Structure 1
Amino acid sequence: MSSNRPAIASAVEGVIVGARADLERLVRIPSIWADPAHAADTEASAAAVAALAEALNPESVRIIRADGGAPAVVARWPAPPGQPTVLLYAHHDVQPTGGDALWTSPPFEPTERNGRLYGRGAADDKAGVMTHLAVLRAYGGAPPVGVTLFVEGEEESGSPTLPALLREHHELLAADVIVIADSANPAVDVPALTTSLRGLVDVVVEVSMLENPVHSGVYGGPVGDALTALCHTLASLHDEKGEVAVAGLRRNTGTDAATLDQPEAEFRAEAGVLNGVEMLGSGTLAERIWHAPAVAVLGIDAPAVANASNVLLPRARAFVSLRVAPGEDAVAARDLLSDHLRAHVPWGAHVEVAPAFGVAEPFALDTRGAAYDAARRAFAEAYGNSTVEIGIGGSIPFIAEFARTFPGAAVLVTGVGDPASRWHGIDESLSLPMFTTAVRAEAFLLDELSR
């Protein structure tokens, strides 16, 4: 343990109250960049983050954007002689609420209950923003290494202009180590480094059977309807055990899944799975979530039950989403999904499959090297438990973009969430004790990297 640790820990304790207060101020800003109605709120959020950074005497603070994208904040503290530069990443935009009335307390009014702070963005990812700023405060605005704070504004929209930002500001953002605070820990007292992520591709499939709607009594029987044909097609995506039935998709095994798994009862409770509903697929939960493909139908264009009438539908379409295992090529996986859908449409129905949105490649990080060793030591000391390596079933496409743009940098994916945080869900929350621990861990990490 470094002789500096007690002083660093004490400094962290001294800034936590103020950091939490500023976190609550940020949560009150509904920075939903994906919703054009909240564009001004996202601008206000970026300005608020820039002001918090400016108070710590950086060499420079800038709000940047590319191709009409969301505002991102960049602040720099130059490296002391001989020291590395660390890029601290987080994002200040948030997901839509999913329905304000469904929340126990208003989503943009931060509320504490039982040691957790509830609010949209409280965990994802304004906690990451304030973790970085709190660490800089603990060091009095004079960190022992160079620091570039980079707070993006459109991560929840897939970071569409991030590649352009990295190209246009390559020198400004270049670093030896990149710390991405946008993941989670398996428990509030167990630190994790995320080492693998699934990719994501989406398609829209449209099935057509008739030129126009026709009476279901007069023609039904010999004449089929597009919605039933679509349902048959979608049902072919899984076998009877719930395994993804798209031929050719890769499934692999990672060492992280072999060393860490969650009890099924706990997982079911967190997901809200109803009694008697079976888990899909085979293997450990970690293997299924981190290293296997997953396909889901996320939307169908069809009449609502209340508006249905006795006609056979001429056409119907669905939005199909595929999570891609690490090691898979996302575009190739999308082609396999499209081919499967075309091959499984029944009764000679016409079918069109088109890509939807962008492509998020899966990614696996190399955890060898001095930066990872430093992180393991710092996090284990701060949390009081060994650092584990985990995968994430979700997709964070910008991580691959960072790795491609800065191939010489070590990329560390950390986070301030836990399984109860409900990222993207109703009643998102942050464990306040873990917030303090996460700040202490990152402060220890900068101290380690300076050595």
Structure 2
Amino acid sequence: MSVLDKEELRLRVDADFNRIVELLSKKVALKSVSAQGIAGQHMRVSAQFVADELKQRGIDAKVVQSQNPDGTPGAFEVVGSRIVDPNAPTVLLYAHHDVQPVPDPSAWDTDPFEATEIDGRLYGRGATDDGGGIAIHSGALHALGDDLKVNIKVFIEGEEEMGSPSFIPFVEAHRDEFAADVIIVADSGNWSADIPSLTTSLRGNTDLDVTVKALEHPVHSGQFGGPILDANTLSCMLISSMYASDGSLNIPGLEGGDPVGGLQRDLDEEDVRADSSVVDSYRFAGTGSLASRLWTKPSISVIGFDAHPVEGSFNVIANETRFRLSVRTAPTQRPEDAARAVTDFLTEHAPFGSEVSVETLDTGMGWSMDPNAEATKDALEAMREAFGTDAVNKGEGGSIPFIPELQRIFPNAQVLVTGPEDPKGNAHSPNESIDLKSLKNNVITEALILEKLSR
């Protein structure tokens, strides 16, 4: 593109931006909470809204209902395409139209399902995750219009916030509608509202249920306490044994590494402290850069613990306790290998000869970007042109397991993970919002990427 062309593209997005914001506001109002039933009428309405919007952008879009693994009706998915030249590259645009629930509306400063603009940010559930991704795709397609030079395929998912149980079977059943040279996943975010990012890696995940048994049945704490430790205490000892004194995991076989593509900028400790809401006296665990600790090194969190509540407790020694671990794995480690390493460690370190058993639940592979792919170079250049500053690559500590699965099914596709979020976006939390200036630059970025990919 010449400089004039870039300015023309920006002018097109400027002229269309009120429509983009209105689209996003209408999407927020749909209350497309998949946790209230992925096959519900509200999800059908949401999917149809997105399909109708894409049709106006020149996409031959339709709503297709998936099937759950057990054969029951699944999510309402939006698929579509626009073929401009059979010999041109094909780009698959991904986002999801379902949103997180709002357990406590009183925790919000605004109505979570009425988009509200305050100081340059649009507040509402799904405004950034992932209504923002839908808005980016819509804006980029509108900006290019008849000047689009790549073929487009679109998949807007309806169950991402529920773990995408039917995603891979749906893709495998519709391979022709997904096959692409480049896949743009607009479900991540930028370093900040003013500094763009490509997401370079995602950690994998696996959940483990651990049971610690000391007795066949509960006994009186006064009669047997001392030589016999309760299962809760034994569980705490077992959990503690996974860590070194500095808080690093010391489990053999758990892999870790440095940020993919190199560490261009470490995370600011004060920002992480503020964003995470840790108490003032807390010291961060682990060693190395904060980026590596959050993006590419493994972590283990106790996310559930079966114990008697304090209220109504009485003097008995708990005979058996179960707790659940969420294990975030390095981007390149197979989650089943990580699960095996943790299982072996826990069973080998059973405190005082207690019985320890481990059950592996869901697993998801991590992902790392190819920094040398042509699409990666195009995206970084587009971000610099749109935002007026170099991109800062960043990883994500969370997991999006369908991305490595997409690459497994389409091994020749180059994957770009972009998105509308920024550190103040509060995705999944009260007062979720999107920065509107950043949204505009993200639209321009994606339009530039599509233009560059046409070469």
Instruction: Name the CA distance, whole Å, in 1 between partners of 2:260 and 2:83.
Output: 37
Q: 1:226 to 1:38 in 2, by over 3 A?
A: farther
The reply on whether 1:352 has 2:364 as its aligned counterpart is no
Pair 1:4-2:5 in alignment: yes
**Aligned-partner Cα distance in 1 for 2:324–2:132:** 32
Amino acid at match of 2:15: G
Partners of 2:156 and 2:260 in 1: CA distance = 31
1:132 match: 137
1:443 aligns with 2:444: no
What residue in structure 1 maps to residue 298 of structure 2?
293
CA distance in 2: counterparts of 1:38 and 1:426, whole angstroms: 25
CA change 1:109–1:303 in 2 (3 A) is: farther
CA RMSD of aligned residues (A): 1.9
Paired residues of 1:64 and 1:74 also in contact (CA < 8 A): no
Q: Is the 8 A contact 1:31 1:38 kept in 2?
A: no
Aligned partner of 1:364 in structure 2 is 368
Structure 2 gaps, min length 5: none
> Counterpart amino acid of 2:91?
V
Q: 2:185 — aligned with what?
A: 180
- 1:325-336 alignment, distance < 5 Å: 325-336=330-341
Report the more deviating stretch, 133-142 or 192-201: 133-142
Alpha-carbon spacing, 1:117–1:354, altered in 2? closer, same or farther (3 Å): same
Letter in 1 for 2:163: G
Q: Does 1:424 align with 2:428?
A: yes
Q: For the Cα contact (< 8 Å) 2:237–2:351, is it kept in 1?
A: yes
Report the CA distance between 1:58 and its aligned residue: 2.6
Distance in 1 separating the partners of 2:48 and 2:321 = 45
Per the alignment, do residues 386 and 46 of structure 1 end up closer, same or farther by CA in structure 2, a change over 3 Å counting? Answer: same
Task: Report if the CA contact (8 A) 2:196-2:391 is conserved.
Answer: yes
Between the aligned partners of 1:43 and 1:345, the Cα distance in structure 2 is 50
Q: Deviations over 1:140-176 (max 9, x none)?
A: 4763321112101112222222211121111111111
Distance across 1 between alignment mates of 2:273 and 2:61? 47
Q: 2:209 aligns with which of 204, 208, 218?
A: 204
The 8 Å contact of residues 38 and 159 in structure 2, kept in 1 or not, is answered as: no
The number of residue pairs the alignment matches comes to: 450
**2:92, 2:178 within 8 Å by CA — same for their partners in 1?**
yes
What CA deviation, in whole Å up to 9, does each residue of 1:125-144 have, x standing for no partner? Answer: 11101110122222347633
Cα deviation digits, residues 302-348 of structure 1 (max 9, x gap)? 12222322222222111101111122121010011112222222122
- Counterpart-to-counterpart distance in 1, 2:19 and 2:126: 18
Q: Distance in 1 between the 2:5 and 2:38 partners?
A: 47
Q: CA, structure 1 residues 236+104, in 2 after alignment: closer, same or farther (shift >3 Å)? A: farther
Displacement of 1:443 after TM fit? 1.1
Give the counterpart letter for 1:285 in structure 2: L
Alignment map for 1:298-447 (pairs within 5 Å): 298-356=303-361, 358-447=362-451
5+ residue gaps, structure 1, are: none
SS at match of 2:350: coil
> Where in structure 2 are the equivalents of 1:255-274 lying within 5 Å?
255-274=260-279
Whether the 8 Å CA contact 1:237–1:295 is kept in 2: the answer is: no
Give me the TM-score of the superposition, normalised by structure 2.
Answer: 0.94
* Bigger shift: residues 135-144 or 310-319: 135-144
Q: Report the equivalent of 1:19.
A: 20
Give, in whole Å, the separation in 2 of the partners of 1:341 and 1:285.
27
Q: Which secondary structure does the structure 1 equivalent of 2:238 belong to?
A: helix
Cα 1:214–1:38 change in 2 (3 A) is: farther
Q: Which moved more, 1:20-29 or 1:137-146?
A: 137-146
Q: Which residue of 2 aligns with 1:42?
A: 43
Q: Distance in 2 between matches of 1:158 and 1:14?
A: 37
| Residue 257 of structure 1, CA deviation | 4.7
The 3 A distance-change label for structure 1 pair 255 and 193 is same
What residue number does 1:111 align with?
116
Q: Secondary structure at the match of 1:70?
A: strand
Give aligned-pair identity as a percent: 38
Alpha-carbon separation, structure 2, partners of 1:154 and 1:291: 26
Most deviating of 136-145 and 88-97? 136-145
Give the letter aligned to residue 176 of structure 2.
Answer: E
Q: TM-score when scaled to structure 1? A: 0.94
Q: Does 1:153 find its partner at 2:158?
A: yes
Q: CA deviation at 1:213?
A: 2.7
Q: 2:406, 2:38 → 1: CA distance?
A: 30
